[in-house]
């Protein structure tokens, strides 16, 4: 960024549809940035300002950052094998300073959406280790799809106001942006574009396989911890689909349906992974007194190595009816 932090902060005030002063929000976010040291503070704050500038130029970026300011999140740079990370327990978003600011701009929006999702988690929601595996998979994949849909919507808005951010993301060939753009060209309806982008995440093999492996590893690790702690409460509680729906919002309201989240596309697992997960769950249940075997994964659809559904989800008729009812029908 050519402007210094001072120049950026002194730019003319802008007001947006939400009625909030953009400079006020930017100032709050700047104060929430935590430098790694006094020596590096000036340079790091200027780098953070360079990331914020394109984000605050778009409606989607401003909406996300205003929410983060209201939630009291802090920001800091940290090296690692990631672009960004949302640490909800600490209310901190980590950003990798080794990446270009045009890349980190859309990463910030993505991680910011995770912060918003976590803030909408029901108070009685089970802890991760307590959650039944099928519900865990449905919830964790949905929040990734939602964050990616918002990320794509932000990048789409950058096309004219921050073209370098748009070009950087566009070059990756992500289907979430393609789906968003195609629907906007077709209907001009942002909600439909968000839905199309969300659904396209489940067809993106690279992301789907990564998170399949990631979540499988989480189950294995949790099963091991449960055995070591001899804790019989692991994998014992439901995470209702209606609660997942309320975590993913567009303009403050849910935009996806329980029907989609219960569909074969969204509610599925690779056949080979299902076998390994069942083995880990069985071993845990047999090893810990009082533990009940979690068989929820049996209800999920199965995919082969090409992402093709080879077994449909085992949904009870009343489950589908309840899902439709809580979303107002089709």
The set of residues, in sequence order, having a beta carbon less than 8 Å from that of 289 and lying 6+ positions away, is 230, 232
Residue 284 CA: distances (Å) to CA of 97, 227, 287, 293: 41, 6, 5, 8
Residue 215 CA: distances (Å) to CA of 119, 129, 137, 148, 162: 22, 12, 7, 18, 35
Token digits for 221? 């690790």
Characterize the bridge pairing of strands 268-270 and 301-303.
parallel
| 306: helix, strand or coil | coil
Token digits for 217? 């590893």
- What is the distance between the alpha carbons of residues 242 and 199, in angstroms, rounded to a whole number? 17
CB atoms within 10 A of CB 116: 24
| Residue-level pLDDT at 25 | 80
| pTM exceeding the 0.75 threshold for the entire prediction | yes
Is 5-119 CATH 3.30.2010?
Answer: yes
- What is the distance between the alpha carbons of residues 222 and 9, in angstroms, rounded to a whole number? 46
The set of residues, in sequence order, having a beta carbon less than 8 Å from that of 70 and lying 6+ positions away, is none
Residue 250's φ and ψ, nearest 5 degrees, are: -125, 125
| Residue-level pLDDT at 27 | 83
pLDDT in tens, 275-325: 999 999 999 999 999 999 999 999 999 999 999 999 999 865 444 444 444
Domain positions in the chain: 5-119, 128-148+174-326
User: According to the 3-state scheme, what is the secondary structure of 169-228?
Assistant: HHCCCCHHHHHHHHHHHHCCCHHHHHHHHHHHHCCCHHHHHHHHHHHHHHHHHHHHHHHH
User: According to the 3-state scheme, what is the secondary structure of 12-40?
Assistant: CCCECCCCCEHHHHHHHHHHCECCCCHHH
pLDDT in tens, 223-239: 999 999 999 999 999 99
pLDDT in tens, 211-227: 999 999 999 999 999 99
- What is the distance between the alpha carbons of residues 272 and 297, in angstroms, rounded to a whole number? 12
């Amino acid at each position: 960024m050519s402007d210094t932090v001072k120049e950026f902060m002194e730019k003319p005030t802008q007001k947006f549809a939400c009625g909030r002063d953009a400079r006020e929000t930017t100032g709050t976010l700047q104060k929430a940035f935590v430098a790694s040291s006094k020596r590096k503070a000036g340079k790091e704050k200027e780098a953070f300002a360079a990331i914020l500038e394109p984000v605050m130029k778009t409606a989607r970026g401003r909406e996300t950052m205003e929410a983060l300011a209201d939630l009291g999140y802090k920001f800091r740079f940290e090296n690692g094998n990631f672009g960004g990370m949302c640490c909800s327990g600490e209310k901190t978003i980590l950003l990798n300073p080794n990446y270009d600011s045009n890349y980190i701009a859309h990463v910030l929006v993505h991680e910011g959406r995770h912060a918003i999702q976590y803030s909408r988690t029901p108070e009685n929601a089970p802890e991760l280790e307590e959650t039944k595996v099928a519900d865990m998979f449905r919830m964790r994949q949905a929040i990734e799809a939602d964050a990616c849909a918002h990320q794509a919507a932000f990048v789409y808005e950058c096309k004219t106001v921050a073209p370098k951010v748009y070009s950087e993301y566009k070059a990756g060939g992500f289907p979430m942006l393609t789906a968003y753009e195609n629907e906007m060209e077709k209907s001009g309806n942002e909600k439909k574009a968000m839905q199309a982008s969300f659904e396209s995440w489940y067809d993106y093999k690279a992301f789907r396989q990564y998170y399949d492996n990631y979540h499988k590893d989480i189950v294995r690790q949790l099963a091991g911890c449960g055995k070591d702690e001899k804790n019989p409460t692991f994998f014992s509680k439901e995470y209702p689909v209606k609660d997942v729906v309320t975590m993913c919002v567009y303009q403050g309201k849910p935009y996806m349906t329980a029907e989609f989240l219960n569909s074969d596309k969204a509610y599925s697992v690779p056949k080979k992974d299902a076998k390994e997960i069942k083995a880990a769950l069985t071993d845990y249940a047999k090893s810990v007194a009082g533990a009940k075997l979690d068989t929820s994964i049996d209800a999920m659809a199965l995919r082969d190595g090409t992402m093709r559904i080879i077994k449909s989800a085992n949904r009870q008729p009343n489950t589908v009816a309840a899902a439709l009812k809580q979303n107002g029908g089709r």
